[in-house]
Amino acid sequence: MFIKAKQSRVFQDVVEQIQNAIISGKLEPGSKLPAERELKDMFNTSRGTLREALRVLEQKGLIEIKLGVSGGAIIKRIDTGIMMESMALLIRSGEVSLEHLAEFRIKTEGSIVELATQRATKKDIKELEKLFKRAKTYYEQSDWENFLLTDEKMHTYIGVMTRNPVFQFVQKTIHDNIHLYYNEYLPMAQDRTLENLMDFKKIIDAMKAGDEVAASEIIRDHIKRFNDKMLEKTRKKPKG
């Protein structure tokens, strides 16, 4: 499966060979890489270089290194967990401004909602309506925290409706972290929550009518309107 690493770039070549074997399916999730001594001979490299390459693969989430007699380098299933964590840290660090986030969401979420409307099934619409009713209940109870969590689930489910894992990843990552901005710049209250709720009702109605253009315009307007409210709040917020 593996060949001697190119001596001009041994470390990089070891990482790439193992990574390609995992991505191509030659190494399946749950299987184990050959023992360290065998790998060292296969790649014709030092133990130090091999161990460093394995650490990089572990950081990428491609393998899990287990210690003990039955341990070794175990192949992991590829998922978006690490990418989501990196995106979340970027948002939480403050490196992503409100303007950056709004611009990104207007461009991407408009397209996501459009595609979701085109591909929506009756089951999808029912699920969205169920989430909407739950959000409405929390609104009536003035339970803003659970309202926001349900709002997050509605946005995430629209990503699911696209049947596209990239859009699903984007929606989940953004909406798992965006409420940090709401908490700081625009805490939920009765009027804001009702406005949010009514926007979502309009989106669902447009989806039920199969009007992807209207659904897309509604979400774009929603994002811009709430972003403008947050920007206004930042201007009024005292510095220091």
pLDDT, average across residues 161-168: 94
Q: What is the CATH number of the domain that holds 165?
A: 1.20.120.530
User: Alpha-carbon distance 220 to 212, whole Å?
Assistant: 12
Most confident of 62-66, 155-159, 191-195: 155-159
In a domain, 2, yes or no: no
What is the greatest pairwise CA distance in the chain? 68
Name the DSSP class of 32.
B
3-state secondary structure (DSSP) of residue 75 = strand
Claim to verify: residue 202 and residue 130 sit in the same structural domain: yes
Q: Is residue 239 over pLDDT 60?
A: no
Domain extent, residue 66, equals 7-75
- For residue 185, the model assigns a pLDDT of 78
pTM reported for the whole predicted model: 0.70
Domain presence at residue 220:
yes
Asked if 54 and 103 sit in the same domain, the reply is no
Residues 205-237: tens digit of each pLDDT: 999 999 999 999 999 999 999 999 888 877 766
CATH number at residue 71: 1.10.10.10
Q: In the structure, what pLDDT confidence band is assigned to residue 183 with cuts at 50, 70 and 90?
A: confident
Provide the CA 17 distance to its chain's centre, in angstroms. Answer: 27
pLDDT at 81 exceeding the cut of 70: no
Phi, psi of 239 (to 5 degrees): -80, 150
Mean pLDDT of 65-82: 82
Dist CA 192 CA 181 (whole Å): 14
7-60 tens-digit pLDDT: 668 889 999 999 999 988 899 999 999 999 999 999 999 999 999 999 999 988
142 and 37 fall within a common domain: no
Report the share of the chain in percent with pLDDT over 90.
61
Q: Residue 235: its pLDDT value, please? A: 74
Exposure pattern of 57-89 as b/e (b: 16+ CB <10 Å)? beeebbbeeeeeeeebbebbeeebeeebeebee
Closest CA to 135 of 211, 203, 209, 233: 203
Asked whether residue 204 falls in the same domain as residue 138, the answer is: yes
Question: Tell me: the pLDDT tens digits for 141-158?
Answer: 999 889 999 999 999 999
Among 6, 203, 40, CA closest to 114: 203
What pLDDT score does 88 carry?
A: 67
**Residues 180-184, mean pLDDT to the nearest whole number:** 77
What whole-number distance in Å separates Cα of residue 171 and Cα of residue 211?
21
Note whether 33 and 139 are same-domain residues.
no
